[in-house]
Amino acid sequence: MSTPPPLISIREMDFGYSRKHLLFKDFSLELNRGEVCAVVGPSGAGKSTLFDLISGELKPLKGSIATGRIAQVYQDPYTSFHHSYTIRNQIEDVADVREMAEYLKILELDAALLEKRPFELSGGQLQRCSILRALLMKPDVILADEPTSALDNIIQLQVMKLLMKFLDRVGILLITHDEDLARWASDKIIRVGA
């Protein structure tokens, strides 16, 4: 039985906003289903730029990037939902909701929350809705950009544990400045800007 290809494969990539100052030089990365890879580094080191490269918003100067289907979970859930519409409307706009009940159960979300607008939910509830939306998009990869940094410590741990329950279906690339979270959650850690 052949090994499935990685969900993300970056080979010898160079990228910088100018060729004189590269954020990445000969950078390589592989992510497989069932893995969590944390990308850690100081502000301005290129963590979010790496996500923009993986999602195709930026193009490398050299090298190659191949990915499966991607969904993103952002740092601030309040900016990733429009304040005027219900959570259900915003999920149904982008995702197949036929498996909604299963996901709600795993994410410990009450279906009644979906009828509310974002400002009516707590940060933890809204971030779980953000994860729900991402998972219903049936991605191969979840790009999680500081997904717990806007939450208090107890809720951070709950949200990360819930996200990791789906590792049988996806690989997770996690941006974080939290070294403890990276060590706890990840199979491998990539340091940028060090």
Angstrom distance (rounded) from CA 44 to CA 23: 9
Residue 76 has a pLDDT of: 83
| 29 within domain boundaries | yes
Q: Does residue 2 lie within any of the structural domains? A: no
Q: What is the pLDDT of residue 172?
A: 96
pLDDT at 150 over 70: no
Expressed as residue numbers, the domain containing 38 is: 8-191
Is residue 1 one of the residues assigned to a domain? no
- Residue 112: pLDDT over 70: yes
Q: In what order do the strands lie in the sheet with 24-31?
A: 24-31, 8-15, 62-67
For residue 183, the model assigns a pLDDT of 92
Report the CATH number at residue 158: 3.40.50.300
pTM strictly above 0.85: yes
- State yes or no: pLDDT of 1 exceeds 80: no
* 1 vs 117: which has the higher pLDDT: 117
Whether 22 is covered by a domain: the verdict is yes
Residue 58 lies in a domain: yes
CA atoms within 13 A on the CB side of 37: 23
- 138 occurs within a structural domain: yes
Q: What is the pLDDT of residue 124?
A: 84
Number of domains in the chain: 1
- Could you give the CA distance from residue 94 to residue 82 in angstroms, rounded to a whole number? 13
In a domain, 3, yes or no: no
What is the distance between the alpha carbons of residues 40 and 35, in angstroms, rounded to a whole number?
16
